Amino acid sequence: MLQNAASPLIEQLIFFHNHAITILILIISIVGFNLFKTTTNKNINVLILESQSLELFWTIVPAVILLFIGFPSIRLLYLLDEIYNPLITIKTIGHQWYWSYEYSDFLNVEFDAYITPNNEITERSFRLIDVDNRTVVPINTQIRNLITAADVLHSWTVPRLGVKADAVPGRLNQIRFYVNQVGVFFGQCSEICGANHRFIPISIESTIPKQFISWIKRL
């Protein structure tokens, strides 16, 4: 099941997913119904096998359906790739096995995020999915994330924000997100990166800009 959207783009992606599934269900129902009809009725076979207009119909209609899937899909593809006037840039580096973050817009703001060990769990943290240093971002702000890795391939993923980008050593990948609600959003490394691949979660905490600034000052 898809998690609730926390950014406009993943909202659009979920909407597109539902749109495509609706078309899929319609096709399966209509084709299934006709298959059943033609295999159980002897006379209808003659009608279907010798009908020119029917052939024309089932060539054109799927082409039109493909356009209805293709155009929204291409629109989203380009929207996801667009970096629109980011206010903050975060640099994310994947390591075996932790993530490190740099806020290059501020002086000396960089930290490592390791998974919270089970014996350090409090009522404010989450088991096996939370980190010791959460990545704090302000809400309603365009944020650019530059992603790379120091050793092997990793993948930085946060489902509720609709972001997933490979962290490749020697290469800088770029994504953006816009969090439209206050909260903590979790993700996990999505590229097998070794023995502790499962133990490098991602937690993004979004707050109001005032709290974000006091967090930056405390670092």
Binding site for Cu ion (CB under 5 A): 154, 189, 193, 197
**Taking the complex as a whole, how short is the minimal distance between the CB of residue 168 and Cu ion, in angstroms?**
12
Least gap, CB of 2 to Cu ion (angstroms): 22
- The 110-113 sheet, strands edge to edge: 110-113, 98-103, 88-95, 142-149, 173-178
- Give the nearer residue to Cu ion in terms of CB position, either 143 or 200: 200
CB of 5 to Cu ion, least distance (A): 24
- Residue written as tokens 């994504």? 175
Q: What are phi and psi of 19, to 5 degrees?
A: -60, -45
State the CB neighbour count (10 A cutoff) for residue 99.
27
Closest CB to Cu ion among 154 and 160? 154
Query: From the CB of 196, what's the least distance to Cu ion, in Å?
Result: 8
Of 124, 126, 137, nearest to 182 (Cα)?
Answer: 137
Neighbours of 71 (CB within 10 A): 10
The nearer residue to Cu ion, 134 or 154, going by C-beta atoms, is 154
Q: Kindly write down the DSSP assignment for every residue of 90-158, as one continuous string.
A: EEEEEETTEEEEEETTSTT-EEEEPBPPGGG--TTS-TTT-BSS-EEEESS-EEEEEEEESSS-EEEEE
By C-beta, is 90 or 189 nearer to Cu ion?
189
| 167: Cα separation from own chain's centroid | 15
Nearest approach in angstroms of CB 154 to Cu ion is: 5
CB nearer Cu ion, residue 135 or residue 206: 135
